Amino acid sequence: MTIKTALSRRRFMAAGVGSASLAATGAQAQATLTAGAILERMKTEIGGPWRDGGVDHLTAGGPDTVVRGISTVMMCSLDALKDSLKAGCNMVITHEPTYWSHQDRLDELQDDPLYKVKLDYVTRNNMAVYHMHDHWHALRPVDGIHVGTANVLGWTQYMHKDNPRYYTVPSMTLLEMARHIQSRMKARTMRVIGDPTMPVRELYASYGNFGGLGGAQILDNVDVMVIGEAQDWDLPMFVQDSVAAGRKKAFIVIGHVLSEQWGMEYAAQWLRGFIREIPCKYVPIIEPYWNPSRPVMEINPKI
C-alpha cells in the first residue's frame, strides 16, 4: 500500500491550479489555488468513481475561495476551525459534519444562534469547509479511515488482504489489547466488555458507528470486535449476553472521534502527494469527553 507521491505535468495542468503571478524580481511564479481546483484534483486521485450527491459537499465557502493551506480533521468543531487557522489553513476537509447532523442539513438551523456564530466565524475568516465522508471510505485500494487507523495501531501487516476490516494479530490478552489501543490513540474514555485475561487474536474492526445487529454473525468468527460506537441496547448487549452464556467473546468501544480521526491524518499525507503549492496538515480535534479520575477542560471557549 503506497501513497502516490508524483503528479505528472499533464495531470498538473489538467487540475487547474488557477492564475499565476510573476514577482517583479523575476522569481518563480506562484500559483493561486482555489477550493474548486483542489476538489478537482481529489476527484482524479480517489481511485474510483466520484459521485455527486450524498453527504460530501462544501458546507462553507465556495469553489472560488483562495486557499492558503488545507487542514484535515475528523469533525469540523469550532475548536477544529480555530486550530486550523492557527496552523495557517483556511480550507478544512472534515470527515464528519460541520452542522451537527450526518447530512449537514440546515432546514432547522437558519435562526439558531450557535449556527450563526459558526457561520460568521468561517465567513469572517474566508474559510472553505468540505465534508468528505463517503469518498474517503471509498478510497481505493483500501478505505482511507482503515489505512490511517491501522497505521497508528501498528497493525497494517495484520490486515486480511481480502477484507481489511479483519485482522489476525499476535496473541495477547484482552486487557493488553485494550491498553495498546488506549496508549496508541491516547483514549480517555474507552469501554470494554469481556474477561480481561481472555486471549485474543482474531478481531474485526469497524471504526466510527456500528449500529444494529449486523455484528452478531461477525462475532461468530472473531475473538473481539473493535468499534467506534454503538447503541447500548443492540450490539453491546448482544456481546454482554454472549459472555453471560459462556462464549469467549469481547468488545472494545473506542469512541467515534478517536476511532476514525487517524484516517484523517492519512488524508493529509494523501493530499500532500498531489498538492505541492500549499501546506496540507492534519489537525487532531479535542476529545470532548473526560473521565472523573482525570478531569480536564481542553475545549477553547474563545471565539
Q: Which residue has the cell 501498528?
A: 154
* pLDDT value at 5 more than 50: no
Position 160 scores a pLDDT of 96
Residue 45 shares a structural domain with residue 182:
no
Q: Are residues 203 and 167 in the same domain?
A: yes
Indicate whether 68 belongs to any domain: yes
Mean pLDDT in residue range 263-273: 97
pLDDT tens-digit readout, 91-109: 999 999 999 999 998 988 9
Residue 1 falls inside a structural domain: no
Strand partners, 71: 92, 281
Q: Is 196 helix (H, G, I), strand (E, B) or coil?
A: coil
pLDDT at position 138 over 50: yes
Q: What pLDDT shows up at residue 164?
A: 92
pLDDT of residue 203: 97
Does 15 map to a domain? yes
Residue 241 lies in a domain: yes
Joined together, the cell numbers standing for residue 235 give 450490539
Dihedral, 143, 144, 146, 148 alpha carbons, nearest 10? 160
The CA radius of gyration of the chain, in Å to the nearest whole number, is 21
Residues 59 and 148 in one domain: no
Is there a single domain that holds both residue 104 and residue 151? no
Both 120 and 234 in one domain: the answer is no
Residues 189 and 201 grouped into a single domain: yes
Q: What would the pLDDT profile of 210-243 be if each residue is shown by its tens digit?
A: 978 888 999 999 999 999 999 999 999 999 999 9
Q: What percent of the chain has pLDDT over 90?
A: 77
pLDDT for 100 = 94
What is the pLDDT averaged over residues 242-247? 97
Domain coverage including residue 72: 9-21+29-140+260-282
What percent of the chain lies above the pLDDT cut of 70? 90
What's the grid cell of residue 198? Answer: 481472555
Do 237 and 268 lie in one domain? The reply is no
Cα 166 to the chain's mean position, in Å? Answer: 19
> What is the pTM (predicted TM-score) of this model?
0.85
Residue 97 lies in a domain: yes
- Whether residues 194 and 60 share a domain: the answer is no
Q: Which residue has the cell 487507523?
A: 149
The total number of structural domains in the chain stands at 2
Is residue 294 in some structural domain? no
**Domain CATH number, residue 86:** 3.40.1390.30
Calpha distance 250→40 (Å, rounded) = 43
pLDDT(63) > 80: yes
Q: What is the pLDDT of residue 31?
A: 61
289 within domain boundaries:
no
* pLDDT, mean over the chain: 89
Largest Cα–Cα separation, the chain = 78
The confidence score (pLDDT) of residue 4 equals: 39
The CB-based long-range contact list for 41-49 (8 Å cut-off, 24+ gap) reads: 41/11, 41/15, 41/274, 41/275, 42/132, 42/135, 42/271, 44/11, 44/14, 44/15, 45/4, 45/270, 45/273, 45/274, 46/135, 46/138, 46/139, 46/140, 47/139, 47/140, 47/141, 48/138, 48/139, 48/140
68 and 129 assigned to the same domain: yes
Give the pLDDT score at 287: 84
Q: Do 74 and 216 belong to one domain?
A: no
Q: What angle do CA 41, 42, 46 make, to 5 degrees?
A: 130
CB 95 within 8 A of CB 147: no
Q: Is 264 exposed, middle or buried (0-12, 13-18, 19+ CB in 10 A)?
A: buried
Distance of CA 47 to the CA centre of its chain: 18
Same domain, 148 and 223: yes
Q: State the average pLDDT over residues 184-207.
A: 96
